[in-house]
Amino acid sequence: MSPATAPNLALSPIVAGAWRMADWGWDAAKRLHWIEQCMELGVTSFDHADIYGGYRVEALFGEALALKPSLRQHMQLVSKCGIKLVSEARPAHRLKQYDTSAQHIAQSVDHSLRALHTDHLDLLLIHRPDALMDADEVAETFATLRQAGKVRAFGVSNFTPAQFELLNSRIALATNQVELHPLHLDVLHDGTLDQCQRLRLRPMIWSPLAGGTLLTGGDERARRVQAVLNSVAQRHGVSAATVAYAWLLRHPTRPHPLTGSHRLEAIREATAALQLRLDSATWTEIWQAGSGHEVA
């Protein structure tokens, strides 16, 4: 099976990550209000995975969406599959493992569609590289899901360039969702983002604030990055979080950063970065704080 041209990834510039929704303690009406407020800020894409919240988050989101189903046509839903957790919600799973078999992918998609109260996913990602992944089998499964109208585009998450190239040689992938922030620079230098740029794909970025460490500090390296972010923020009259997002957005791949907060102010700080373009010296200043050395 040869790959076709990768589809345009029609996501909002900032994507709302819903993975902690099960911890928010909100009723369906409050969850719906959060969804609506995100969309009012231009964040119309929502990132999920079947396993989030112990297999509960998609249903919590879907319950809220069912209160106002007309929103579905104005949003993009992303989900991931390929990890099996030992959980009461999946009693057949006997150990934590990766599974990219046709059966597991198809079953995961059907679970996600029911939970999210939707008839299709805009994007489906393989959550983690699976050493036993059969690229032909995955590609055929993706093609079947697309033909059935259940999934519109496909991608991967946390794949190395070689792993991405293997699956992309069988079916066109739309993105690679990877970790990137000034304390985790690997994908800038290991070929991951070079590959995205070569293929004209926009990566998705998870943990853009290093789980909050960029804002709260931590070890010496984290405090060094925090100080630079605060300095740049003061110069531009924005928050340090906005600078951290702007640092990501400055990359020529035009990445889609994921937020991870239920706070609307945090969403606003992320979207404010769309109006802040860092010059290359400022970008390098932040990179240098994270890497701990000057460019060679």
- Name every residue whose Cβ is closer than 8 Å to that of residue 264 and which is 6 or more positions away in sequence: 34, 37, 38, 41
pLDDT at residue 3 in the model: 53
215 assigned to some structural domain = no
Boundaries of domain holding 141: 9-174
Report the percentage of the chain scoring pLDDT > 70: 97
Instruction: Give the pLDDT band (50/70/90) at residue 49.
Output: very high
Instruction: Give the pLDDT band (50/70/90) at residue 167.
Output: very high
Do the strands 83-84 and 97-98 form a parallel or antiparallel pair, or are they unpaired? antiparallel
204 assigned to some structural domain = no
Q: What is the pLDDT of residues 107-121, one digit of tens each?
A: 999 999 999 999 999
Q: Please give the average per-residue pLDDT across 186-203, as a whole number.
A: 98
Distance in angstroms (rounded) separating the CA atoms of residues 165 and 170: 9
pLDDT at residue 1 in the model: 44
245: annotated active-site residue: no
Domain count, the chain: 1
pLDDT at residue 2 in the model: 44
Q: What angle do CA 281, 202, 62 make, to 5 degrees?
A: 125
Q: What is the pLDDT of residues 206-255, one digit of tens each?
A: 999 999 999 998 899 999 999 999 999 999 999 999 999 999 999 999 99
Write down the mean pLDDT value for the chain: 96
pLDDT at residue 9 in the model: 76
Distance in angstroms (rounded) separating the CA atoms of residues 63 and 74: 17
Reply yes or no on whether the pLDDT at 90 is more than 70: yes
Q: What is the pLDDT of residues 244-284, one digit of tens each?
A: 999 999 999 999 999 999 999 999 999 999 999 999 999 99
Q: What angle do CA 207, 211, 212 make, to 5 degrees?
A: 120
Whichever domain contains 74, its CATH number is: 3.20.20.100
Catalytic residue among 52, 55, 98, 245: 52
Structure tokens at 211: 């789980």
149: left (phi over 0), alpha (psi -120 to 50) or beta: left
SS3 content of the chain, % helix, strand, coil (to 5): 50, 15, 40
260 assigned to some structural domain = no
264 assigned to some structural domain = no
127 assigned to some structural domain = yes
44 assigned to some structural domain = yes
165 assigned to some structural domain = yes
Structure tokens at 283: 């970008």
Nearest Cα neighbor of 264 from 38, 44, 75, 71 is 38
Whole-prediction pTM:
0.96
Distance in angstroms (rounded) separating the CA atoms of residues 114 and 181: 34
- Name every residue whose Cβ is closer than 8 Å to that of residue 224 and which is 6 or more positions away in sequence: 289, 290, 292
286 assigned to some structural domain = no
Structure tokens at 150: 């259940």
